[in-house]
């Protein structure tokens, strides 16, 4: 665990790019699923949407919920997405401040 934290702290640019990429992918998944829902096509499973959100993509998931008006009435998403975002941002701050 210490080596992961060390890597993140001393390679912060790489970590931030990966963080941004994870959020963009999650946002794209929410957008894609919304379009598929409107067309009544094969959908992206909720477990995939939540899984990508859990892998440091929660902010992208929240943006997807807001921008695409998707999964906004599902209690699972309304509760888990903000919790994951707060947890992820807390981890990031702790790593960069306290290393």
pLDDT in tens, 38-87: 999 999 999 999 999 999 999 999 999 999 999 999 999 999 999 999 99
Surface-to-core class of residue 30, CB atoms within 10 Å of its CB (0-12 exposed, 13-18 middle, 19+ buried): buried
pTM above 0.75, yes or no: yes
Q: How far is CA 34 from CA 29, 31, 52, 90, in A?
A: 9, 5, 16, 29
Give yes or no for residue 27 having a pLDDT over 70: yes
Give yes or no for residue 32 having a pLDDT over 90: yes
pLDDT for 39: 96
Where does the pLDDT of residue 99 fall: very low under 50, low under 70, confident under 90, or very high at 90 and above? low
Q: How many domains, the chain? A: 1
User: In angstroms, rounded to a whole number, what is the distance separating the alpha carbons of residues 41 and 45?
Assistant: 12
Instruction: Give the range of the structural domain holding residue 54, as residue numbers without chain letter.
Output: 2-98
Vertex 48, ends 55 and 88: CA angle to 5°? 20
- Residue 65 has φ and ψ, to the nearest 5°, of -65, -40
């Amino acid at each position: 665990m210490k080596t992961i934290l060390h890597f993140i702290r001393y390679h912060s640019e790489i970590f931030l790019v990966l963080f941004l990429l994870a959020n963009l992918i999650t946002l794209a998944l929410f957008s894609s699923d919304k379009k598929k829902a409107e067309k009544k096509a094969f959908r992206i499973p909720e477990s995939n949407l939540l899984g990508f959100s859990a892998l440091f993509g929660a902010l992208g998931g929240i943006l997807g919920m807001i921008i695409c008006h998707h999964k906004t009435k599902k209690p699972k998403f309304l509760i888990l997405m903000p919790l994951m975002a707060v947890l992820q941002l807390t981890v990031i701050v702790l790593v960069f401040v306290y290393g």
